[in-house]
């Protein structure tokens, strides 16, 4: 019996530019090696890096590390290891990815402060344990480690509800309220039967399950339309991003041209203009809305998730509807020391 | 991840047997005993906080602070083997995040509704790493490197501390169960896990000890050895983190808030205990209760491959710890938080980086 989860995957998994850029070009040589006499007796046939054919270097000689440990996906590659400045930046970026952000206040000035006033998560690792994907959850709680779910709240035409951000927040720094109260979010896993009756041609059966997600109307702290629907997106692992980034633009464009001969709906490799005005073939996000890791919204997920501002991003990831709702909430305003 | 053993190779070589003994020694006398002691110390810490809450005296503050230091030592040494349950369950960020989220803590302590019923269950299910674990307790119990004045501690802070200590106890017992098996825990600990509905599905100690055998995710014994040494959540990872993050980041920023354990001034001991965890991992067990057996150590194994390299590993670890104050972390003046400069910390950073380099060399040697 096999179980398969049906998710709609996260389309916005980009994290921090430097971390992505320096990280994760890697292969697990041991997993690729075939059984041989050398494997007998507990002696691995792992090749050493000074004796490998070029084909072993999936990410190039400077972009491929050889590591079979459980944390292999977290390792830096030779191009980083061989340069003290890169390594220092990698280590610094690693602390941003693996540690929690805090609100600030009396901790102002420390690293990883500025969380809120509303936020989706307080750390990257929370959704990407081991730099991978999130875990299956029975409930939606932002503080549950490994919960990589994002709520997708849309209208009947799949447009995001304008009073909520595309990645709605369920956490808030007091006295503010979150746009959505977690207690009103319900996840129920249901069985699904496909057109094959959940049976392979050889008779073996399998089970399919999917999450049904609902949010109580009174769980919203922003105005909502009469109709809305909710889905879950789930995070994916961030490893491999460096490999995708390393593919030259021309190669992706060539593939786009080749595939476009068969379909008018090819998105991978189609040129897009990014916010800095440069043009690149689309390659990142499920919506294929980003051409590089460096530009525009592609480097913003980390800041959207935590709502931490920075010198060149001095706005909060909130909607005007939310700001208005909080400005008109007497309890919030009273706690802030404001009179009516 | 399946094993690739030839059908014709049923005989056990001396090397197989030796490595199994080394892995068994590592599991039982480094990991399991550390988590066992951490769990016991966390239980003591919770009781000390409860005693302080019911009887607010300076003596009881001192006792709770002492209990914190004791538990802290075991936890920091366990950071040499964060791979497995501590990482998979997210227990490391859950109980050992810093800086403390002081603003949210102030809001929490000021929320009469929440504090009326605040307990360990609330902490476990509603708070995140910035408000939990060692550094939350440290904030309540310490100031300026000493136990806090009892007159400065509010009732709500003590209520909060008892709840956070209860959560820390649960996480610590969970770690012990994950590595030793739930059935091998005391009745009190088993009851706690049952009461909190914690599911323990794997025995990670067995995974390591049975490396190369059916049922273990480690397809060879060497793979398990490399996990211990090379993993980002193993010896190499913690040596790298101590040198290049825990020490370097606050030195670069000059901000005391970036210092781990700055209320208690325990930072230097934290760093040394991190590397003592490496020593325990590599030298055949912890150095108390006659548990260490250097003959069944990774260092002895490395020496059997290359005597000079094994000696180099041994030296790199002890130099990084700097028990005599003349090398490595031992050269950082106390307290670290008052010496956030290159001159006072460079030897420690260099010693940690040297240890990382030596571990890398050893891993290449093992893989040959």
pLDDT tens digit string along A59-110? 788 888 888 888 888 888 889 988 989 988 888 888 888 888 988 765 666 7
pLDDT per position as a tens digit, B38-85 = 999 999 999 999 999 999 999 999 999 999 999 999 999 999 999 999
Residues of chain A with C-beta less than 8 angstroms from the C-beta of B5: 39-41
Instruction: Pick from A23, A33, A70 the residue to mutate for testing the B interface (most B CBs within 10 Å).
Output: A70
Using alpha carbons only, what angle is made at residue A301 by residues A295 and A302, rounded to the nearest 5 degrees?
Answer: 110
> Looking at the predicted structure, is the pLDDT value of residue A27 above 70?
no
Q: Which of A236-245, B50-59, B110-119 has the highest average model confidence (pLDDT)?
A: B50-59
> Looking at the predicted structure, is the pLDDT value of residue A30 above 70?
no
Structural domain range at position A252: 241-295
Q: Is A286 part of any domain?
A: yes
Residues of chain B with C-beta less than 8 angstroms from the C-beta of A103: 101, 103-104, 130
> Looking at the predicted structure, is the pLDDT value of residue A339 above 80?
no
Query: In this structure, which long-range contacts are made by residues B216-220, counting pairs with CB atoms below 8 Å and at least 24 apart in sequence?
Result: B217/B1, B219/A30, B219/A44, B219/B1, B219/B2, B219/B3, B219/B4, B220/A42, B220/A43, B220/A44, B220/B3
% residues pLDDT > 90 (chain B): 88
Counting Cα atoms < 13 Å in the Cβ hemisphere of A266 gives 18
Give CA–CA dist A153/A228, Å, rounded. Answer: 7
> Looking at the predicted structure, is the pLDDT value of residue A21 above 90?
no
Q: Is A14 part of any domain?
A: no
> Looking at the predicted structure, is the pLDDT value of residue A304 above 50?
yes
Q: What is the DSSP letter of A70?
A: T
Q: Is A268 part of any domain?
A: yes
State the pTM of this model.
Answer: 0.85
Give CA–CA dist A267/A271, Å, rounded. Answer: 9
Question: What is the C-alpha R_g of chain B?
Answer: 21
Chain centre to alpha carbon of residue A23: 15
How many domains is chain A partitioned into structurally?
1
Query: What pLDDT shows up at residue B296?
Result: 97
% residues pLDDT > 70 (chain A): 82
Check CB contact of A113 with chain B, cutoff 8 Å.
yes
**Residue entry with tokens 């494997």:** A39
Q: Is A271 part of any domain?
A: yes
Q: Is A166 part of any domain?
A: no
Mean pLDDT score of chain A, rounded to an integer? 82
Instruction: Pick from A28, A51, A71 the residue to mutate for testing the B interface (most B CBs within 10 Å).
Output: A71
Q: What is the dihedral of CA B136, B141, B143, B148, to 10 degrees?
A: 160
Query: What pLDDT shows up at residue B107?
Result: 87
- H-type helices in B213-253, by residue range? 221-230, 235-241, 248-253
**Quick check: A69 and B19 CB within 8 A?**
no
> Looking at the predicted structure, is the pLDDT value of residue A7 above 80?
no
Query: What pLDDT shows up at residue B271?
Result: 98
Nearest to A145 among B90, B102, B230 (CB): B90
3-state secondary structure of B270: helix
Give CA–CA dist A314/B326, Å, rounded. Answer: 47
pLDDT per position as a tens digit, B163-211 = 999 999 999 999 999 999 999 999 999 999 999 999 998 899 999 999 9
Q: Is A266 part of any domain?
A: yes
Check CB contact of B83 with chain A, cutoff 8 Å.
yes
Nearest to B272 by CA among B86, B78, B138, B76: B76
Q: Is A264 part of any domain?
A: yes
**Quick check: A107 and B103 CB within 8 A?**
yes
Residues of chain A with C-beta less than 8 angstroms from the C-beta of B8: 40
> Looking at the predicted structure, is the pLDDT value of residue B349 above 50?
yes
Check CB contact of B240 with chain A, cutoff 8 Å.
yes
> Looking at the predicted structure, is the pLDDT value of residue A156 above 50?
yes
**Quick check: B107 and A115 CB within 8 A?**
no
Mean pLDDT of A280-292: 86
- Residues in contact with A261: Cβ distance below 8 Å, sequence separation at least 6, in sequence order: none
Cα distances (Å, whole numbers) of residue B236 to A16, A82, B92, B274, B360? 24, 17, 17, 11, 8
Q: Is A114 part of any domain?
A: no
């Amino acid at each position: 019996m096999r179980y398969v989860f049906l998710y709609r995957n996260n389309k916005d998994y980009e994290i921090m530019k430097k971390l992505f850029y320096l990280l994760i070009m890697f292969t697990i040589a041991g997993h690729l090696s075939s059984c041989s006499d050398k494997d007998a007796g507990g002696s691995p046939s792992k090749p050493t890096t000074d004796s490998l054919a070029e084909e072993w270097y999936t990410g190039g000689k400077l972009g491929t590390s050889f590591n079979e440990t459980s944390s292999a996906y977290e390792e830096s590659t030779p191009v980083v290891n061989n340069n003290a400045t890169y390594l220092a930046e990698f280590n610094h970026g690693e602390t941003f990815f693996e540690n929690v952000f805090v609100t600030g206040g009396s901790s102002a000035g420390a690293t990883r402060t500025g969380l809120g006033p509303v936020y989706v998560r307080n750390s990257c690792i929370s959704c990407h344990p081991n730099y991978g994907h999130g875990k299956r959850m029975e409930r939606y709680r932002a503080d549950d480690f490994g919960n990589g779910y994002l709520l997708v709240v849309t209208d009947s035409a799949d447009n995001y509800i304008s009073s909520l951000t595309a990645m709605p927040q369920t956490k808030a720094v007091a006295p503010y309220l979150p746009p959505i109260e977690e207690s009103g979010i319900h996840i129920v896993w249901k069985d699904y039967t496909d057109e094959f009756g959940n049976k392979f041609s050889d008779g073996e059966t399998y089970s399919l399950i999917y999450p049904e997600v609902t949010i109580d109307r009174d769980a919203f702290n922003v105005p909502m339309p009469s109709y809305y629907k909710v889905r879950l997106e789930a995070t994916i692992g961030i490893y491999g991003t460096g490999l995708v980034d390393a593919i030259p633009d021309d190669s992706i464009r060539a593939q786009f041209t080749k595939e476009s001969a068969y379909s008018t709906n090819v998105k991978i490799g189609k040129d897009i203009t990014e916010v800095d005005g440069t043009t690149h073939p689309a390659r990142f996000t499920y919506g294929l809305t980003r051409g590089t890791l460096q530009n525009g919204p592609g480097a913003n997920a980390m800041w959207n998730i935590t709502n931490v501002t920075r010198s060149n991003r001095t706005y909060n990831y909130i909607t005007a509807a939310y700001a208005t709702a909080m400005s008109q909430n007497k309890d919030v305003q009273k706690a802030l020391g404001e009179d009516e | 991840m399946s094993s690739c053993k030839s059908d014709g190779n049923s005989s056990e070589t001396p090397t197989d047997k030796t490595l199994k003994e080394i892995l068994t020694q590592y599991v039982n006398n480094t990991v399991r005993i550390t988590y066992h002691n951490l769990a016991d110390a966390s239980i003591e810490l919770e009781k000390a906080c409860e005693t302080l809450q019911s009887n607010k005296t300076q003596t009881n503050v001192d006792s709770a602070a002492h209990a914190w230091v004791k538990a802290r030592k075991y936890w920091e040494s366990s950071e040499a083997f964060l791979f497995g349950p501590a990482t998979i369950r997210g227990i490391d960020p859950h109980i050992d995040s810093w800086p403390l989220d002081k603003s949210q803590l102030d809001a929490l302590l000021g929320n009469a509704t929440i504090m009326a019923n605040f307990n360990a269950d609330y902490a476990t299910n509603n708070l995140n790493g910035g408000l939990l674990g060692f550094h939350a307790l440290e904030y309540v119990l310490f100031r300026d490197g000493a136990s806090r004045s009892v007159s400065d501690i509010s009732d709500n802070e003590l209520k909060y501390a008892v709840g956070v200590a209860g959560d820390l106890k649960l996480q610590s017992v969970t770690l012990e169960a994950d590595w030793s098996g739930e059935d091998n825990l005391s009745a009190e600990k088993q009851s706690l896990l049952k009461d909190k509905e914690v599911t323990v599905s794997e025995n990670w100690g067995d995974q390591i000890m049975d490396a190369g055998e059916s049922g273990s995710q480690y397809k060879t014994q060497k793979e398990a050895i490399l996990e211990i040494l090379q993993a980002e959540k193993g010896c190499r990872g913690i040596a790298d983190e101590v040198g290049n993050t825990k020490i370097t980041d606050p030195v670069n920023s000059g901000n005391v808030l970036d210092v781990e354990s700055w209320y208690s001034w325990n930072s230097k001991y934290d760093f040394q205990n991190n590397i003592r965890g490496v020593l325990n991992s590599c030298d055949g067990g912890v150095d108390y209760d006659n548990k260490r057996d250097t003959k069944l150590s990774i260092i002895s194994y490395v020496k059997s491959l290359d005597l000079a390299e094994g000696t180099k590993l041994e030296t790199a670890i002890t130099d990084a710890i700097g028990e005599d104050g003349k090398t490595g972390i031992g050269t950082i003046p106390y307290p670290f938080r008052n010496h956030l400069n290159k001159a006072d910390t460079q030897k420690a950073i260099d010693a940690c980086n040297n240890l990382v380099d030596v571990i890398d060399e050893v891993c290449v040697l093992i893989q040959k």
